[in-house]
């Protein structure tokens, strides 16, 4: 093979298929809707005549819906073609947004958020499997980094724009926009997603459940809980932190959300790239740095420039391990990855739900706006426990394989 041919082959292998970027666009919509309310909590609370802490339930309920719905939807749609599942999830996603946009009843709105979360969970689980399988050998973490980067990009563009629109034209406006984009996305994704390969094994619930016997899958899931629990405890209540502690105006909040989102986008992509070569280096470095950033944020949140910088670093380190964790779960459950991927999404949202719930309590405590940061730091410290156990188990399995 000539040097030119070898170079072309290398480029071909390093180039990810287009479906990876299409799925990232779908995840962009999902990431926008999950956290857009973080930037408009005061507006929602005022319009619905509830407290800001109660308005935060829109994040918590969404997370709970993904916790319950992701594995259930993964199993329920197991025998559907993956392109059908992805398109159907976006249609249900749109219906949930219409309900939120037209309702004035907070319980109905929470129910619609739960419905939207069910569809989001189903989409994320299948999208992760499709992306990992579409990438060439050794590039699954990179592909997952791109797909998850769609969610991070939502924090750079979607969430700040939604927050700005919500503050300008009313908080319901972003939900109408997401409805339209979801319906367009359903058509595009259905047309462009390749049909299931005939080489794939026939779907089997028993095989999916059997894949969960590997204790490493559960250690990964514990890591997923800690990752989102630490970062999202702070992110959910970032508006009161910035306005009350830091002294910034509410108009600046969307810009700070962009800083967090930019850090998260860079972190997700770097984590996916570096994690393919040094997964544990990425996992441990990010875990330690997330903890340190949160400690500093709790101590220095009265200084505007430092606070904004630390929020950017929180996005960078807090979200860099997600593609590595999902990639490990899919690899450990190689024969039946859909449920493992779904459970990762559920675990991320267990962390979001627990983090936002504990942060809401801390917000109403004597700590005030600093309370959610304290909660985040405590959860970040816990993250090292499953990582250490996972590393020990991987090394033990490696030694056992060498002996055999």
For 66-120, the pLDDT digits (tens) are 788 778 877 777 777 888 889 999 999 999 999 999 988 999 999 999 999 888 8
pLDDT averaged over every residue in the chain: 82
What does the pLDDT look like over 32-46, one tens digit per residue? 887 788 778 888 888
pTM over 0.75: no
In order of their start, the domains of the chain are 17-193+211-403 (1.20.1250.20)
**Chain center to CA of 57:** 18
In this prediction, residue 223 carries a pLDDT of 92
List, for residues 6-60, the tens digit of each pLDDT value: 343 444 445 777 778 888 888 898 888 877 887 788 888 888 888 887 888 888 8
In order of 236, 253, 400, the CA distances from 247 in angstroms are 18, 11, 57
Are 268 and 152 in contact, with CB atoms under 8 Å apart?
yes
Interatomic CA distance for residues 22 and 123, integer angstroms: 12
d(CA 315, CA 349): 16
Tokens representing residue 255 in the block: 């810009």
Helix residue ranges, H only, 215-336: 215-236, 238-240, 253-275, 279-300, 304-318, 322-332
> Per-residue pLDDT tens for 246-274?
888 877 887 887 888 888 888 887 887 78
Q: Are 363 and 239 in contact (CB under 8 A)?
A: no
How far does Cα 280 stand from its chain's mean position? 20
Question: Strand, coil or helix: what is 341?
Answer: helix
């Amino acid at each position: 093979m000539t040097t030119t041919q070898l170079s072309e082959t290398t480029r071909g292998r390093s180039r990810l298929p287009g479906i990876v970027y299409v799925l990232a666009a779908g995840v962009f919509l999902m990431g926008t809707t999950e956290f857009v309310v973080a930037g408009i909590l005061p507006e929602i609370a005022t319009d619905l005549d509830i407290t800001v802490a109660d308005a935060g339930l829109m994040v918590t309920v969404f997370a709970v819906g993904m916790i319950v719905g992701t594995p259930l939807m993964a199993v329920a749609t197991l025998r559907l073609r993956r392109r059908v599942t992805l398109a159907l999830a976006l249609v249900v996603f749109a219906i949930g947004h219409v309900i939120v946009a037209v309702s004035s009843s907070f319980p109905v709105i929470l129910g619609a958020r739960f419905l939207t979360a069910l569809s989001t969970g189903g989409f994320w689980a299948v999208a992760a499997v499709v992306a990992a399988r579409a990438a060439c050998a050794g590039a699954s973490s990179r592909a997952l980094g791109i797909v998850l980067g769609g969610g991070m990009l939502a924090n750079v563009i979607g969430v700040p724009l939604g927050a700005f629109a919500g503050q300008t034209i009313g908080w319901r406006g972003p939900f109408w926009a997401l409805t339209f984009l979801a319906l367009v996305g359903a058509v595009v994704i259905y047309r462009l997603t390749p049909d299931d390969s005939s080489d794939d094994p026939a779907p089997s619930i028993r095989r999916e459940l059997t894949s969960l016997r590997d204790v490493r899958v559960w250690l990964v899931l514990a890591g997923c809980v800690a990752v989102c629990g630490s970062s999202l405890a702070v992110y959910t209540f970032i508006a009161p932190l910035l306005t009350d502690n830091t002294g910034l105006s509410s108009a600046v909040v969307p810009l700070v959300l962009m800083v967090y989102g930019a850090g998260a986008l860079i972190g997700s992509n770097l984590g996916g790239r570096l994690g393919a070569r040094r997964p544990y280096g990425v996992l441990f470095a990010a875990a330690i740095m997330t903890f340190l950033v949160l400690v500093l944020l709790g101590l220095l949140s009265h200084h505007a420039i430092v606070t904004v910088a630390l929020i950017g670093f929180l996005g960078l380190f807090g979200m860099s391990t997600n593609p590595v964790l999902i990639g490990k779960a899919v690899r450990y459950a190689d024969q039946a990855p859909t449920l493992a991927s779904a459970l990762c999404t559920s675990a991320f949202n267990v962390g979001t739900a627990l983090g936002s719930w504990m942060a809401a309590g801390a917000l109403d405590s004597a700590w005030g706006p600093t309370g959610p940061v304290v909660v985040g730091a405590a959860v970040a410290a816990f993250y090292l426990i499953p990582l250490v156990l996972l590393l020990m188990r991987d090394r033990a399995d490696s030694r056992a394989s060498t002996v055999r």
